[in-house]
Structure 1
Amino acid sequence: MSLTLSKKELMNKALSTITINIGKAGINDNVVEEIKRQLKSCEVVKLRFSKGITNEKENYINNIVNDTRSKLVDVRGNVAVIYKKKP
Protein backbone atom coordinates (compact mmCIF):
# COMPACT_ATOMS: atom_id res chain seq x y z
CA MET A 1 0.00 0.00 0.00
CA SER A 2 1.47 3.33 -0.96
CA LEU A 3 0.72 6.56 0.79
CA THR A 4 -0.79 9.30 -1.34
CA LEU A 5 -0.06 11.98 1.25
CA SER A 6 3.36 12.76 2.68
CA LYS A 7 4.15 11.80 6.25
CA LYS A 8 4.12 15.47 7.23
CA GLU A 9 0.64 15.96 5.70
CA LEU A 10 -0.62 12.87 7.51
CA MET A 11 0.78 14.06 10.84
CA ASN A 12 -0.87 17.47 10.36
CA LYS A 13 -4.15 15.75 9.57
CA ALA A 14 -3.72 13.61 12.70
CA LEU A 15 -3.73 16.72 14.89
CA SER A 16 -7.44 17.22 14.24
CA THR A 17 -8.50 13.58 14.03
CA ILE A 18 -10.16 11.19 16.45
CA THR A 19 -8.10 9.52 19.14
CA ILE A 20 -9.00 6.03 20.27
CA ASN A 21 -7.77 5.04 23.72
CA ILE A 22 -6.51 1.51 24.24
CA GLY A 23 -6.54 0.58 27.92
CA LYS A 24 -5.50 -2.35 30.09
CA ALA A 25 -8.14 -4.58 28.49
CA GLY A 26 -6.25 -4.32 25.18
CA ILE A 27 -7.97 -4.73 21.85
CA ASN A 28 -10.99 -6.81 20.93
CA ASP A 29 -13.33 -7.10 17.93
CA ASN A 30 -15.35 -4.05 19.00
CA VAL A 31 -12.25 -1.86 19.22
CA VAL A 32 -11.04 -3.03 15.81
CA GLU A 33 -14.48 -2.38 14.27
CA GLU A 34 -14.52 1.15 15.71
CA ILE A 35 -11.06 1.81 14.31
CA LYS A 36 -12.26 0.58 10.90
CA ARG A 37 -15.26 2.92 11.04
CA GLN A 38 -13.08 5.87 11.97
CA LEU A 39 -10.55 5.09 9.22
CA LYS A 40 -13.38 4.91 6.71
CA SER A 41 -14.62 8.37 7.65
CA CYS A 42 -11.37 10.16 8.58
CA GLU A 43 -8.52 8.21 6.89
CA VAL A 44 -6.22 9.01 9.84
CA VAL A 45 -6.68 7.74 13.42
CA LYS A 46 -4.53 8.23 16.50
CA LEU A 47 -4.28 5.34 18.93
CA ARG A 48 -3.34 6.27 22.50
CA PHE A 49 -2.11 3.36 24.61
CA SER A 50 -2.31 3.16 28.39
CA LYS A 51 1.06 3.31 30.12
CA GLY A 52 0.28 -0.04 31.75
CA ILE A 53 0.42 -1.92 28.45
CA THR A 54 3.62 -0.56 26.92
CA ASN A 55 5.08 -4.10 26.73
CA GLU A 56 2.20 -5.22 24.47
CA LYS A 57 1.90 -1.98 22.47
CA GLU A 58 3.92 -3.17 19.49
CA ASN A 59 1.86 -6.38 19.21
CA TYR A 60 -1.39 -4.41 19.45
CA ILE A 61 -0.26 -1.99 16.76
CA ASN A 62 0.72 -4.84 14.42
CA ASN A 63 -2.61 -6.59 15.00
CA ILE A 64 -4.59 -3.39 14.41
CA VAL A 65 -2.67 -2.55 11.22
CA ASN A 66 -3.17 -6.09 9.88
CA ASP A 67 -6.85 -6.31 10.87
CA THR A 68 -7.74 -2.90 9.42
CA ARG A 69 -5.41 -3.16 6.40
CA SER A 70 -4.05 0.26 7.27
CA LYS A 71 -0.56 1.74 7.25
CA LEU A 72 1.40 2.75 10.33
CA VAL A 73 2.50 6.37 9.91
CA ASP A 74 4.27 7.12 13.18
CA VAL A 75 4.72 6.00 16.79
CA ARG A 76 5.70 8.51 19.45
CA GLY A 77 5.67 7.39 23.04
CA ASN A 78 2.27 5.82 23.71
CA VAL A 79 0.60 7.26 20.61
CA ALA A 80 0.47 5.63 17.18
CA VAL A 81 -0.95 7.15 14.01
CA ILE A 82 -2.44 4.92 11.32
CA TYR A 83 -3.73 5.75 7.84
CA LYS A 84 -6.00 4.10 5.31
CA LYS A 85 -6.93 5.80 2.06
CA LYS A 86 -10.65 6.16 1.42
CA PRO A 87 -11.88 3.90 -1.38
Structure 2
Amino acid sequence: MEKEKLYRLKAEANQLSPILNVGKNGITDSLVEELNKHIKANRLVKVRVLKSAEEGKDLKAIAEEIATATRSTVIEVRGRTVVLYR
Protein backbone atom coordinates (compact mmCIF):
# COMPACT_ATOMS: atom_id res chain seq x y z
CA MET A 1 0.00 0.00 0.00
CA GLU A 2 1.42 3.39 -0.92
CA LYS A 3 2.43 5.79 1.85
CA GLU A 4 -0.06 8.54 0.93
CA LYS A 5 -3.01 6.18 1.21
CA LEU A 6 -1.65 4.77 4.47
CA TYR A 7 -1.35 8.27 5.98
CA ARG A 8 -4.86 9.16 4.80
CA LEU A 9 -6.32 5.99 6.33
CA LYS A 10 -4.50 6.59 9.64
CA ALA A 11 -5.87 10.15 9.75
CA GLU A 12 -9.36 8.87 8.98
CA ALA A 13 -9.03 6.21 11.71
CA ASN A 14 -8.32 8.89 14.33
CA GLN A 15 -11.96 9.98 14.01
CA LEU A 16 -13.31 6.47 14.60
CA SER A 17 -14.31 4.77 17.83
CA PRO A 18 -13.65 1.06 18.37
CA ILE A 19 -16.67 -0.96 17.21
CA LEU A 20 -15.79 -4.30 18.83
CA ASN A 21 -13.78 -5.61 21.76
CA VAL A 22 -11.74 -8.81 21.54
CA GLY A 23 -12.12 -10.38 24.97
CA LYS A 24 -11.01 -13.50 26.81
CA ASN A 25 -12.64 -15.78 24.22
CA GLY A 26 -10.22 -14.42 21.63
CA ILE A 27 -10.98 -14.44 17.93
CA THR A 28 -14.18 -16.44 17.61
CA ASP A 29 -16.27 -17.20 14.53
CA SER A 30 -18.99 -14.82 15.71
CA LEU A 31 -16.44 -12.03 16.22
CA VAL A 32 -15.05 -12.56 12.69
CA GLU A 33 -18.59 -12.64 11.25
CA GLU A 34 -19.56 -9.39 13.00
CA LEU A 35 -16.29 -7.74 12.02
CA ASN A 36 -16.79 -8.75 8.38
CA LYS A 37 -20.21 -7.03 8.40
CA HIS A 38 -18.68 -3.82 9.75
CA ILE A 39 -15.72 -3.91 7.35
CA LYS A 40 -18.06 -4.48 4.40
CA ALA A 41 -20.20 -1.51 5.45
CA ASN A 42 -17.42 0.91 6.47
CA ARG A 43 -14.18 -0.44 4.90
CA LEU A 44 -12.15 1.05 7.80
CA VAL A 45 -12.78 -0.18 11.36
CA LYS A 46 -11.18 0.02 14.78
CA VAL A 47 -11.09 -2.91 17.21
CA ARG A 48 -10.01 -2.86 20.86
CA VAL A 49 -8.08 -5.85 22.21
CA LEU A 50 -8.70 -6.34 25.93
CA LYS A 51 -5.90 -7.53 28.23
CA SER A 52 -7.73 -10.81 28.81
CA ALA A 53 -7.41 -11.64 25.08
CA GLU A 54 -3.61 -11.56 25.04
CA GLU A 55 -2.69 -14.67 27.11
CA GLY A 56 1.00 -14.40 26.29
CA LYS A 57 0.44 -13.41 22.67
CA ASP A 58 1.94 -10.32 21.11
CA LEU A 59 -0.61 -7.62 20.18
CA LYS A 60 0.76 -7.41 16.63
CA ALA A 61 0.31 -11.18 16.26
CA ILE A 62 -3.31 -10.87 17.40
CA ALA A 63 -3.84 -8.02 14.90
CA GLU A 64 -2.42 -10.15 12.07
CA GLU A 65 -4.60 -13.08 13.12
CA ILE A 66 -7.73 -10.87 12.99
CA ALA A 67 -6.66 -9.44 9.61
CA THR A 68 -6.13 -12.91 8.17
CA ALA A 69 -9.49 -14.14 9.47
CA THR A 70 -11.33 -11.13 8.00
CA ARG A 71 -9.24 -10.88 4.80
CA SER A 72 -8.33 -7.29 5.66
CA THR A 73 -5.14 -5.28 6.14
CA VAL A 74 -3.73 -4.01 9.44
CA ILE A 75 -3.28 -0.26 9.04
CA GLU A 76 -2.13 0.51 12.55
CA VAL A 77 -1.71 -0.97 16.02
CA ARG A 78 -1.72 1.77 18.63
CA GLY A 79 -1.92 0.82 22.29
CA ARG A 80 -4.59 -1.87 22.49
CA THR A 81 -6.40 -0.63 19.39
CA VAL A 82 -6.12 -2.20 15.95
CA VAL A 83 -7.21 -0.44 12.75
CA LEU A 84 -8.27 -2.68 9.86
CA TYR A 85 -9.03 -1.86 6.23
CA ARG A 86 -10.40 -3.78 3.29
Q: TM-score range by the shorter chain?
A: 0.7 to 0.9
Determine helix, strand or coil for the equivalent of 2:21.
Answer: strand
Size of the alignment, in residue pairs?
A: 82
For structure 2, the 5+ residue unaligned runs are none
TM (norm. structure 1) is 0.78
Gapped runs of 5+ residues in structure 1?
none
Tell me what 2:68 maps to: 66
Structure 2 residue aligned with 1:38: 38
Q: Which moved more, 1:63-72 or 1:46-55?
A: 46-55
The structure that is helix-richer by fraction is 2
Distance 2:79 2:69 in 1: 22
Moved >4 Å (runs of 4+)? none
Aligned CA RMSD, in angstroms, stands at 2.0
Partner of 1:10: 9
Q: Distance in 1 between matches of 2:32 and 2:16?
A: 21
Q: Percent identity?
A: 30
Letter in 2 for 1:42: N
Contact 2:60 2:77 in 1 (8 A): no
